[in-house]
Amino acid sequence: MALAPDRTVRGLLFDRDDTLVIDVPYNADPHRVVPVPGAHRAVERARAVGLLLGVVTNQSVIAKGMATREEVDATNARVDELVGPFDVWCVCPHDADDGCDCRKPRPGMVFEAAERLGVAPEELVLVGDIGADVGAALAAGAQGILVPTPRTRPEEVEAAPTVVGSLAEAVELVLEHAAAVRS
């Protein structure tokens, strides 16, 4: 699997749950944040080469009334502390049936991240664990990399243009691509 050879990558976006941190359903407790093995190192490598970094995360726990935005922000701050720092955080607080433009697989958060980072969406790669992550990337004109987990559905893996086995592999693919485009 490869990224588009004619596209410069200036930024890397990540899904939060099951991509950067172990998924705890509806987690809004900073004390329950546990990074995915190798996440800090992978993010650190991307930062070291000058990529802009962001997180785009669906957090319906807010819409469901199970947590406040402040609790989610505190949880994200803990992720930032353990895995980041990230240049931008974009959070969709809506539920699946709310019809918003930000909830993945819709492209709103990717567009927001691009604007806040000062790059075109086409210059971003989004790494996530489900089809909605890749769908949001593609809908915004970005590239997507799927890192399947046991919860990723087979049809999501089949549909994804780029699939790798780990977060470290995803970041390595982006770094190799960036180096090839520069040379």
Q: Which residues are part of the catalytic machinery? A: 15, 17
Query: Left if phi > 0, otherwise alpha if psi is -120 to 50, otherwise beta: which for 60?
Result: alpha
Q: Would you call 24 exposed, middle or buried from its count of C-beta atoms within 10 A (0-12, 13-18, 19+)?
A: middle
Report helix, strand or coil for 128. strand
Q: Are the CB atoms for 176 and 8 separated by under 8 Å?
A: no
Residue 128: strand pairing partners: 146
- Rounded Cα gap, residues 89 and 71, in angstroms: 14
Two structure tokens written together for 131: 């089809």
